[in-house]
Amino acid sequence: MYTLSRKRIKNKRVLIKTALNHRSENSSLWEVRWEAMEVLKIATAGSVDDGKSTLIGRILYDTQSLTTDKLEAIETKSKANGFDYLDFSLATDGLVAEREQGITIDVAHIYFSSKTKSYIVADTPGHIEYTRNMVTGASTSQASIILVDARKGVIEQTYRHFFINNLLRVKDIIVAINKMDLVDFSESIYEEIKADFQEMIAKSEYKEQNITFIPVSALLGDNVVATSENTPWYSGNTLLDHLEGLEAQDVYEQSHMRFPVQMVIRPKQTDFHDFRGYAGKIYGDDLEVGDEITVLPSLTSSRVKEIYFFDQKFDKAGRGSSCTITLEDDLNISRGDMIVKNAERPNVGKQLEAKVCWMDTKELQPGTQYFLQSGSNRILAKIKGVSGVIHTDFSGEDITANSLKLNEVGNVNILMSRPLAYDSYTENKISGSFILIDAHTNTTAGVGFVK
């Protein structure tokens, strides 16, 4: 994995270099930056006082991502709070209430770039009340940093953090064992925590996660960006080096091609009189001109005629591309339909079973109606039943439960008013997940992962 991505970065660098040598007079370094950009989305999870905000602040500081005015603001505030060091957590805590209480309430997004990548960090609060925010952050991230306080070790909340990242099948997990400075950079403490964490991993469902342990001190900077002299027993990468080595990918991962139709484009202009394009984003795999496709749920078939991106045509489009396609045949297709390759049909049905994480204060109750939305498809649905609440510490489930409270995860059976094309979440993250929308308040009340 690591060698592969190193090679990829090297290739990319060669590509940029070649491009720069061949660039015409009108192209610039910035065009090339845009073309070659790798975006790595990361989520962070940690308990109150684990030093999560400090860690992010430290990365920003050490990568020179903090501007002078921001740094000055941190300095002023740190002094006012009576600290004799820079309180980097001030770089991320955005809302007044958060600064007053010194905690993170909502998902904050933080941006920084290295030589090879642009990073988007979803900084999510770790307290049990904010499980929904952690799930939200993890849903759009390729990698997660889980913080563990070296003095406390693996605690109840660590179980929850890992459980969520495992449930959402986040590909790369970095366990940052923080505050190593407060335990004299003890190797045995680090190893103990690692062993406890591995016990937890053994109980998890999704085993293909890449899990990496790093001993750090966010406050002092050990093994965050610079290698620490205090941990001679640790031979692995620093946190940033590790992230640099990850191959930035579409979070939806390689799978079967899924093309949920967002809208039909019919310009009705003289130049494009008969143009009928289907706008959407390609998930899972490439799509090529000539591919034989099936439209769901109608089960009609055709072939891809053209792939447009703006005013240019392409033979093939990679996953992650928002494009517009046309088909050989005139079919009746509308928003919410899904285009797939003939040999790769998903399930189509009016009933599904899913693990649901509940995000609303109003409980999920059997018999209640919600709108189920998966991508561009929104269907009126009804909760048929709840068959159990899953303990987030890998200790099984409570099968007597028949409703879901805020921040609980449970097994739910759902009936839909129309057939939906879906996959299991393990096979496809976009067509295997959905949100439930409260029919009265319109809020996003829960998220489901199809079994």
Site for other proteins in 371-430 (CB under 8 A): 371, 373-376, 429-430
* Count of residues that bind other proteins according to CB under 8 A: 96
User: Closest separation between CB of residue 148 and other proteins, Å?
Assistant: 25
Query: How big is the chain by its Cα radius of gyration, in Å?
Result: 24
CB-wise, 208 or 315, nearer to other proteins? Answer: 315
Which residues on adjacent β-strands are paired with residue 414? 352, 383
Contact region for other proteins (CB under 8 A) — 13-21, 296-304, 391-399, 406-414?
Answer: 13-21
| Residue list 178-207, contact with other proteins (CB under 8 A) | none
| Residue list 19-58, contact with other proteins (CB under 8 A) | 19-20, 22-24, 26-37, 39
**Total number of residues shown for the chain:** 451
Rounded Cα–Cα distance for residues 252 and 432 (Å): 10
Q: Does residue 275 interact with other proteins by CB under 8 A?
A: yes
Listed in sequence order, the residues at least 6 apart from 94 whose beta carbon sits closer than 8 Å to its beta carbon are 106, 108
Rounded Cα–Cα distance for residues 83 and 446 (Å): 41
Q: Does residue 151 interact with other proteins by CB under 8 A?
A: no
214 phi and psi, to 5 degrees? -135, 125
Peptide bond into 297 cis (omega under 30): yes
Residue choice 11, 13, 67, 349 for contact with other proteins (CB under 8 A): 67
CB-wise, 413 or 444, nearer to other proteins? Answer: 444
Contact region for other proteins (CB under 8 A) — 155-163, 197-205, 213-221, 267-275?
Answer: 267-275
Rounded Cα–Cα distance for residues 113 and 333 (Å): 41
User: Could you tell me which of 200, 261, 220 has the C-alpha nearest to residue 391?
Assistant: 200
| Residue list 82-121, contact with other proteins (CB under 8 A) | 92-97, 105-111, 113, 118, 120
**16 in the Ramachandran plot: left (φ > 0), alpha (ψ -120 to 50) or beta?**
alpha
Residue choice 8, 70, 203, 405 for contact with other proteins (CB under 8 A): 70
Contact region for other proteins (CB under 8 A) — 11-19, 46-54, 179-187, 297-305?
Answer: 11-19
Question: In Å, what is the CA distance from 19 to each residue of 14, 27, 247, 278?
Answer: 8, 10, 21, 33
Q: Does residue 442 interact with other proteins by CB under 8 A?
A: yes
DSSP type of residue 82: T
User: Closest separation between CB of residue 433 and other proteins, Å?
Assistant: 5
| Residue list 297-316, contact with other proteins (CB under 8 A) | 307-311, 313-316
User: Closest separation between CB of residue 335 and other proteins, Å?
Assistant: 5
First and final C-alpha spacing in the chain: 28
CB-wise, 124 or 212, nearer to other proteins? Answer: 124
